[in-house]
C-alpha cells in the first residue's frame, strides 16, 4: 500500500530535519519528502496534523518470553504491545526457555516475528553457551541466523577473562556485545536499592556500587581489547560518570537506560509494591538526576524499555519472592515525552535516543526517513491524554507501576515497511 | 476505653504517639489480670486467634498464646515447617485457607519484611505482627517501652542506647519508631557493617562511633542479639572480637548512669553481647521484659478486636 503522510512535523535527526513536510511512501520505501506533495492515484492519505512524524521507534531491550514462558508474553502479543507503543523494531533478549544460543532458535524467533506480521523482531543471541558464563556462544552462527547482538542479559558474565574473550571474539564477528553489568557478590540477597528506604522497610539492599564496579570492569575490558560494548539498563549516577569519562577517552562504549530509571525513585517500593521491583532496582533522586543529565548530554545513547512481562501470580506475592521487572513497551513513549516537556531533551534528541542510536548500535538499516529507506514510521501525538488500564494493554502481562495513571502522549499510527500496523 | 482505629498492628511506624500511649496504658491495666490467682477475663470470649509462625519462636509465640487465653479467646498454633514459597502453597493461599475457618485475628511471624501488609490487604480479619523479616517487631518494641516506663515513670527525655546488629534487627526498628515518637533520645552503636544506610533519618537517632560513646550517661542500655543466621559471614571477624569491642561488661556499663537499666530482647548469647554477670546483675531488666510481654500482647489483641467491632 502507498501512503501520503500530510501536514505532520517531520523530525529526522539522521538528516537534521525538523519541519512541516509531507512524506510519500511507495512500495514500502520512503519515496519523497517535501511541501505540498500531491497524492498519485490509489495512494492513501494520512492526515498527521498536530503530530510528529519520526523514524519508527526501536526498542533494543525487550523480553518476549517465547519460547518457553508464553504465559507471560509471546512474540505476537509482544509485537502488538510494541506497535501500540510506537515501536517498529524490537530486539528481544535470549533469556527464554531454552535460551537462544543456537541458530535454530534464533531462526524460530525471526519466523514467529514474521508470522505475527507487526513489527520487526530481531533476536539477541547468548554471549556464552547456555548463558552459563563458561564458554563462548556460537556468535558467528547466531549472527548468520539473524541475531543483531549477543548478551547474557539477566545475568552478568562473572569471569573477567571470559568477558575479555567474548568482546574480542564478537569484534571479529562484527556483532555488538550487550553487557548486563552487576557484581553478584555485592548484590547478595538484595531485593531493592540499598538506602534509607531499604533501611526503613527492612528489605535487603543492593548497593549502587554493585552496578558501578561491573560497568567499570567491562568498560576497561572494552578499552583494553579495543572492542565496542553496550551497557544495558544504566541506573546509577556512578555508572553515568564512568561511561562519560570512558567516552571522553575514546572508549567504544554506548549505553541505555529505561523510563523507570529517569522517572521513579525507590520511594515507589513503599508499601512493598512488587510492581516497583526490578533489576537493577529503582535508585534515589540523585541517580535520577544523573540519568537525566546523561540523556541530555548524550552520555546515555538510548532509551530502551527492558520490557519484562510477568504473570500476576509472580507479582502478587511477598516482596522478597516477587519476580523482577515491569512491562514498558506501551508506556515508554509518554514517559520519554515528559523529558521533552521538562526540557531535558529536545524532540529531535528524543528521536535519536529512541530510534537512530539503537539502530546504529545494532547495525539495523532503520532510524532514518532518508529517501529510499524502509518506510518504518511512527506518528506521535505528544499531547494525547490516556489512562493505563489493564484491559486495554496489548501485552499479556500488566505488571506496571503506572497502572491507573494518566499518560500524556502516544503513538497514533505505527507504520512498518509502508504498512499501517497500528492506529489509535 | 478510647478509640483504636486500626484493623491491624503491623508496625509502630504506622501508629501515632497517642495510639502507642493507649496500647501501653491498656497493658498496664492488663498486667493486673496476670497477677491474679485466676488469670482469666472474658473480654475476648468467642474470638478465634490463629498464631501463624513461619519462623521458630518460643518466647513470642507462648507470650501471644497466653495473652489470648487470658482474655478467653480460642487459639490455634500453626508452624509451617518450611516457608510458603518453597512449600508450594503461597502465603496468600495459606491465609485464604485459614480465613475460611473464620479466625478473628491472625498473629503472624514471617521472615519476609512486609508480608503482613501483603496479607492485610487480602484478608478482612486483623493481622498482628509478631515479627516480619528485619522490618518491625511491634510487640517487642511496646514491651520494651513498657518496661522502661515501669522503671522511670516516663519515656520522655530518656537516653536510650541500642547496641549491636541494627541492620538485621526488627527490634531496633520498632524501638526507634516508638521511642522517638514518645520523646526518648536514641543512640545507636555497632560495627559499621551492621549499621544500615540512612538509619539516622529513622526518627532522628544518633549513630555513634563506639559502644562507649553510645552508652555514656545512658538511662537505658539495650543490647541486641547477634543474629548469625541472618548475617552471612562477612559482617564481623568472630564472636571474640565482637565481644571485646561491642559487648557489655561490668566495666563499660559504668559509663552509663549509675542506675541505668540493661535490656536484651533475647535469646542472649552469653559472653558475646553481654557478660553473664551483667545478664544476671542488679541492673538487668531482661526477665521483666518477658513478663511485660504478655500484658502488652493482651493489650494489642484487645485493641484490634475493638477496632473491628467499631
pLDDT band at B2 (very low <50, low <70, confident <90, very high): low
Query: Cβ–Cβ of A205/B197 closer than 8 Å?
Result: yes
Averaged pLDDT for residues B83-96: 73
Measured in degrees and rounded to the nearest 5, phi and psi for residue A67 equal: -85, 160
Query: Cβ–Cβ of A318/B173 closer than 8 Å?
Result: no
Measured in degrees and rounded to the nearest 5, phi and psi for residue A7 equal: 65, 15
Contact B164, B128 (CB under 8 A): no
Contact A414, A56 (CB under 8 A): yes
Provide the CATH number for the domain formed by A56-368 in this structure: 3.20.20.140
Its CATH architecture, for the domain A2-52+374-423, is: Roll (2.30)
Show residues of chain A in contact with B115, CB under 8 Å: 318-319
Q: State the average pLDDT for chain B.
A: 92
Report d(CA A85, CA B31) in Å as an integer. 63
pLDDT band at A1 (very low <50, low <70, confident <90, very high): confident
- Scanning every residue of chain B, which has its alpha carbon at the shortest distance from the alpha carbon of A185? B234
Report d(CA B147, CA B153) in Å as an integer. 10
| ipTM (interface predicted TM) | 0.89
Where do the CATH 3.40.50.1370 domains begin and end in chain B?
12-135+292-305, 138-289
Its CATH architecture, for the domain B12-135+292-305, is: 3-Layer(aba) Sandwich (3.40)
Report d(CA B118, CA A277) in Å as an integer. 15
Among A318, A320, A323, pick the best mutation site for testing chain B contact (most B Cβ within 10 A).
A318
Residue B272 confidence (pLDDT): 93
pLDDT band at B310 (very low <50, low <70, confident <90, very high): very low
From the CA of B142, how many Å to the nearest CA of chain A? 18
The answer for residues whose C-beta is within 8 angstroms of residue A366's C-beta and 6 or more apart is A55, A56, A58, A88, A89, A120, A355, A359, A373, A374, A376
Of the given ranges (A168-172, A180-184, B34-38, B276-280), which has the lowest mean pLDDT?
B34-38
Report d(CA B26, CA B32) in Å as an integer. 10
Q: Which three cell numbers stand for residue B181?
A: 515518637
Known binding residue B87? Answer is yes
Active-site positions of A read 306
Contact A282/B at CB under 8 A? no
Known binding residue A63? Answer is yes
Tens-digit pLDDT profile for residues A29-80:
999 999 999 988 889 999 999 999 999 999 999 999 999 999 999 999 999 9
Tens-digit pLDDT profile for residues B97-107:
889 999 999 99
Q: What does DSSP assign to residue A374? A: B
Tens-digit pLDDT profile for residues A373-417:
999 999 999 999 999 999 999 999 999 999 999 999 999 999 999
Domain boundaries, chain A: 2-52+374-423, 56-368
Name the percent of chain B lying above pLDDT 90: 82
Measured in degrees and rounded to the nearest 5, phi and psi for residue B276 equal: -55, -35
**C-alpha distances in Å from residue B210, one per residue of A83, A152, A406, B175, B206:** 59, 45, 50, 20, 12
For the domain made up of B138-289, the CATH class stated in words is alpha beta
From the CA of B205, how many Å to the nearest CA of chain A? 13
Helix axes B115-122, B91-99, angle to 10 degrees: 40
The DSSP code sequence of A14-37 is GGTEEEEEEEEEETTEEEEEESS-
- A311 SS3 class: coil
From the CA of B166, how many Å to the nearest CA of chain A? 10
Report d(CA B103, CA B68) in Å as an integer. 13
- Scanning every residue of chain A, which has its alpha carbon at the shortest distance from the alpha carbon of B174? A200
Show residues of chain A in contact with B197, CB under 8 Å: 194-196, 198-199, 205
Q: Which three cell numbers stand for residue A341?
A: 516537556
Amino acid at each position: 500500500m502507498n501512503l501520503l503522510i500530510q501536514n505532520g512535523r517531520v523530525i529526522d535527526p539522521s538528516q537534521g530535519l525538523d519541519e512541516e513536510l509531507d512524506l510519500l511512501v511507495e512500495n514500502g520505501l520512503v519515496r519523497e519528502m517535501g511541501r505540498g506533495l500531491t497524492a498519485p492515484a490509489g495512494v492513501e492519505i494520512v492526515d498527521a496534523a498536530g503530530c510528529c512524524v519520526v523514524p519508527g521507534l526501536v526498542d533494543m531491550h525487550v523480553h518476549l518470553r517465547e519460547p518457553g514462558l508464553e504465559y507471560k508474553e509471546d512474540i505476537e502479543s509482544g509485537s502488538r504491545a510494541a506497535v501500540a507503543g510506537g515501536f517498529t523494531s524490537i530486539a528481544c533478549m535470549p533469556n527464554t526457555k531454552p535460551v537462544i544460543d543456537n541458530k535454530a532458535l534464533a531462526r524460530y524467533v525471526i519466523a514467529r516475528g514474521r508470522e505475527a506480521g507487526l513489527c520487526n523482531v530481531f533476536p539477541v543471541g547468548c554471549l556464552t553457551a547456555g548463558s552459563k558464563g563458561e564458554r563462548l556462544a556460537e556468535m558467528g552462527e547466531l549472527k548468520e541466523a539473524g541475531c543483531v547482538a549477543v548478551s547474557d542479559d539477566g545475568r552478568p558474565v562473572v569471569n573477567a577473562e571470559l568477558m575479555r574473550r567474548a568482546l574480542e571474539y564478537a569484534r571479529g564477528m562484527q556483532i555488538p556485545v550487550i553487557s548486563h553489568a552487576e557484581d553478584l557478590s555485592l548484590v547478595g540477597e538484595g531485593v531493592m536499592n540499598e538506602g534509607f528506604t531499604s533501611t526503613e522497610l527492612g528489605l535487603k539492599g543492593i548497593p549502587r556500587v554493585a552496578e558501578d564496579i561491573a560497568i567499570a570492569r567491562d568498560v576497561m575490558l572494552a578499552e583494553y581489547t579495543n572492542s565496542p560494548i553496550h551497557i544495558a539498563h544504566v541506573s546509577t549516577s556512578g555508572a553515568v560518570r564512568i561511561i562519560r569519562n570512558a567516552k571522553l577517552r575514546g572508549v567504544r562504549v554506548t549505553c541505555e537506560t529505561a523510563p523507570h530509571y529517569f522517572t521513579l525513585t525507590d520511594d515507589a517500593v513503599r508499601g512493598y509494591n512488587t510492581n516497583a521491583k526490578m533489576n537493577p532496582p529503582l535508585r534515589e533522586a540523585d541517580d535520577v538526576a544523573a540519568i537525566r543529565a546523561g540523556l541530555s548530554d548524550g552520555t546515555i545513547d538510548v532509551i530502551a524499555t527492558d520490557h519484562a512481562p510477568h504473570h500476576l501470580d509472580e507479582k502478587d506475592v511477598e516482596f522478597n519472592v516477587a519476580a523482577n521487572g515491569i512491562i514498558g513497551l506501551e508506556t515508554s513513549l509518554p514517559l520519554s515525552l515528559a523529558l521533552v516537556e521538562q526540557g531535558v531533551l529536545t524532540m529531535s534528541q528524543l528521536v535519536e535516543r529512541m530510534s537512530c542510536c539503537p539502530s546504529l548500535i545494532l547495525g539495523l538499516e532503520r532510524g532514518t526517513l532518508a529517501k529510499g529507506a524502509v518506510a518504518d514510521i511512527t506518528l506521535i501525538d505528544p499531547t494525547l491524554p490516556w489512562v493505563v488500564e489493564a484491559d486495554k494493554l496489548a501485552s499479556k502481562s500488566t505488571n506496571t507501576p503506572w497502572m491507573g495513571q494518566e499518560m500524556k502522549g502516544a503513538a497514533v499510527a505505527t507504520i512498518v515497511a509502508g504498512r499501517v500496523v497500528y492506529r489509535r | 476505653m478510647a478509640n483504636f482505629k486500626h484493623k491491624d498492628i503491623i508496625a509502630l511506624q504506622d501508629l501515632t504517639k497517642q495510639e502507642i500511649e493507649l496500647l501501653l496504658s491498656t497493658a498496664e491495666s492488663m498486667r493486673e489480670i496476670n497477677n491474679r490467682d485466676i488469670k482469666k477475663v472474658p473480654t475476648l470470649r468467642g474470638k478465634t486467634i490463629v498464631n501463624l509462625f513461619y519462623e521458630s519462636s518460643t518466647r513470642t509465640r507462648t507470650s501471644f498464646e497466653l495473652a489470648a487465653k487470658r482474655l478467653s479467646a480460642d487459639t490455634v498454633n500453626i508452624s509451617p515447617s518450611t516457608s510458603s514459597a518453597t512449600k508450594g502453597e503461597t502465603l496468600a493461599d495459606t491465609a485464604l485457607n485459614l480465613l475460611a475457618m473464620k479466625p478473628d485475628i491472625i498473629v503472624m511471624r514471617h521472615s519476609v519484611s512486609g508480608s503482613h501488609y501483603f496479607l492485610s490487604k487480602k484478608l478482612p480479619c486483623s493481622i498482628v505482627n509478631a515479627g516480619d523479616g528485619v522490618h518491625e517487631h511491634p510487640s517487642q518494641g511496646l514491651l520494651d517501652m513498657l518496661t522502661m516506663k515501669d522503671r522511670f515513670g516516663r519515656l520522655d527525655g530518656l537516653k536510650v542506647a541500642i547496641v549491636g546488629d541494627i541492620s538485621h534487627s526488627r527490634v531496633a526498628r520498632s524501638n526507634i519508631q516508638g521511642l522517638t515518637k514518645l520523646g526518648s533520645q536514641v543512640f545507636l552503636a555497632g560495627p559499621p557493617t551492621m549499621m544500615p544506610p540512612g538509619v539516622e533519618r529513622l526518627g532522628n537517632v544518633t549513630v555513634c562511633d563506639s559502644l562507649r560513646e553510645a552508652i555514656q550517661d545512658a538511662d537505658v542500655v539495650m543490647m541486641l542479639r547477634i543474629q548469625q543466621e541472618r548475617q552471612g559471614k562477612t559482617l564481623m571477624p568472630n564472636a571474640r572480637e565482637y565481644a571485646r569491642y561491642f559487648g557489655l561488661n561490668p566495666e563499660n556499663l559504668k559509663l552509663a548512669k549509675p542506675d541505668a537499666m540493661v535490656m536484651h530482647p533475647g535469646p542472649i548469647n552469653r559472653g558475646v553481647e553481654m557478660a553473664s554477670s551483667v545478664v544476671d546483675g542488679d541492673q538487668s531488666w531482661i526477665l521483666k521484659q518477658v513478663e511485660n510481654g504478655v500484658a502488652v500482647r493482651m493489650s494489642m489483641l484487645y485493641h484490634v478486636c475493638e477496632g473491628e467491632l467499631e
